Amino acid sequence: MTTSDELDRGTSPEHFERLKENMERVDQLSQKLVEIMANRKGHHPGLDGPNQELFARAATSYWSEILQNPAKLMEQQVEYWGKSVLNFAEAQSVLAGEGEEGSEKATPQDRRFGNPMWDNNPYFHFVKQQYLINSEAIRSAVSQVDDLEAIDRHRLRYFSDQIINMMAPTNFLPTNPDALEKALETEGQSLIDGMQNLVDDLEANNGELVVRLADESAFEIGGNIATSAGEVVFRNRMMEIIQYHPTTETVHETPIVLFPPWINKFYILDLKAQNSLIKWVTEQGYTLFVVSWINPNSDYADVGMEEYIEEGFLTAIDKAKDICKVKQVNAIGYCIAGTTLSLTLALMKKRGDKSVKSATLFTALTDFSDQGDFTPFLQNDFVDAIVEEIGDDGVLPSYIMARTFSYLRANDLVYGPAIRSYMLGETPPAFDLLYWNGDGANLPGKMAVEYLRGLCQRNEFAEGGFELFGELLNLKDVDIPLMAVTCETDHIAPWMNCYKGVQQMGGRSKTFIVSQSGHIAGIVNPPSRNKYGHYTNSDLKGTPEAWMEGASFNEGSWWPRWESWLKKRSGKQVPARKPGDSNNPVLEAAPGSYVRIRATD
């Protein structure tokens, strides 16, 4: 917080002169900002919110309630007016020296309002309290809209919360004490740095605002992240296959083929040696193959789920079998790759292909009957906008998906970083996980629409069958030994929904685990950290709630439990294998070339 001495220095003529000069530099940068925005391509407006029908239905429902029960509206309004008038009266009293500063302290803990000035300064205290009063009034009004379908109520709550978060006083310079203090302390340099950060972010994404979460200059793929030793032993238009060097003298006969999601890069599982699942797996004595997907451009417009399965999953499995001279592999699929691995296993069942001995799914949805936090984005108006956005280019840009995920946690992943970067002029932190999070991938248009329409919206894999390669694929066709690892606080693939999908699979040997933490931290949870535990229960017959009620809690990572399960399905020990063979020569060192392709390249 700024001290009185600093304020005295800050009000000197010399200080104001330097502040004025810096404000002129801010104005120059703002001109650059205008130029960038003038050349911005833009995106379909339907991706910014629901169509007007939702708000029209909500307004009609609310108006109908008013006509039927006007006393209820008056009660709400009087309460709102009363709180607003009392808040104003308190501010006036404090300004007149008659009241106690920050008298209303019993507000919920909110990191946005950590600066003492939110309580001690009458102006900022008034602004904060009025924002909280307004937020409560909006949420109360939305909760009173009853005459809507459950999905519409969910969407109305979500988008009204987005408006509330967007209008927080912390998001605006005149009502953000941290930013104002920093501007005075630095004589406006923080605003110059912030404007430069904004210009840089817009230029990096062709005029679209995607807030950088990490200092990209601090990381080098293959330098200080994704450093596990391995070789690219195969490449086609869809993927590179990396075979990692063994770290033991002998290995299990059956190799592992790991399929990461193609929405992000594979190195989430190899950020650094201390938490690398890839490194840990090789240390347990396994031959490990990992797929590194291409970051597609417009040339991939007609690539769909069939191409990912045929040229990706099936090809990788065949290559691993060929190189290791075995008939079967153990397969792993993470997130959307776990969903697609399940489709692949159902297809292989139809074809009588027994190349996969066991499967492990990491946070993989296969039953989409409950759309959870993604409900607002999986309705026809939003998906229709995605289809139009794909348009002639045939590719869904990575920032669309990144933005969707980020706004599920808007204050942490959008507004908080934006304030630090653009208002305070700070350099984003050198955080490897956030660097990976910002290194997204585009999606082929055909694949994205198939996934959104057939799996997410119509839930065909769980209800009636999802058609690929002329076959109708069902969850019950997945009948090989399987372990599903889910995460307790995962908002992308909620564990309860994953559980429902595993329940419907046809195998007799099914193991289900719920790790503590979320979509990433619950999976990237090395035993050495001893941070997050996990839940186990062999009874998969009941509801998700019954499963958790009967589950046992286990301290520490699930990795050793999974490895004990896996080694029973991995055969005898054989001499450790060097990457590649005469038919599949080494092409280049890991992490390969595809992982270095940026979405904007």
Query: Which one-letter DSSP state was computed for residue 426?
Result: P
Could you give the count of Cα atoms lying within 13 Å of 329 in the half-sphere of its Cβ? 27
Beta bridge partners of 290: 242, 258
Q: Are 326 and 254 in contact (CB under 8 A)?
A: yes
Spatial separation of the C-alpha atoms in residues 486 and 439, rounded to whole Å: 23
Q: Are 216 and 435 in contact (CB under 8 A)?
A: yes
The tokens for 77 are: 């309004």
The tokens for 322 are: 């060929």
Torsion sign across C-alpha atoms 403, 405, 411, 414: negative
**Geometric angle at alpha carbon 447, from 443 and 450, rounded to 5°:** 135
The tokens for 417 are: 């970083």
* Crossing angle between the packed helical segments 150-166 and 122-143, to the nearest 10 degrees: 170
- CA-closest candidate to residue 454, choices 328, 368, 346, 512: 368
487 is catalytic: no
Stated length of the chain: 601
Strand, helix or coil at 300? helix
The tokens for 453 are: 């329409």
Q: Are 291 and 434 in contact (CB under 8 A)?
A: no
- CA-closest candidate to residue 380, choices 53, 23, 24, 128: 53
Spatial separation of the C-alpha atoms in residues 188 and 191, rounded to whole Å: 5
Spatial separation of the C-alpha atoms in residues 407 and 418, rounded to whole Å: 13
- Looking at 335, 456, 487, 498, which residue is catalytic? 335
Placement of tokens 């994704």 in the chain? 226
The tokens for 150 are: 């459950």
Q: Are 190 and 425 in contact (CB under 8 A)?
A: yes
Give the residue numbers annotated as catalytic, written as ranges.
335
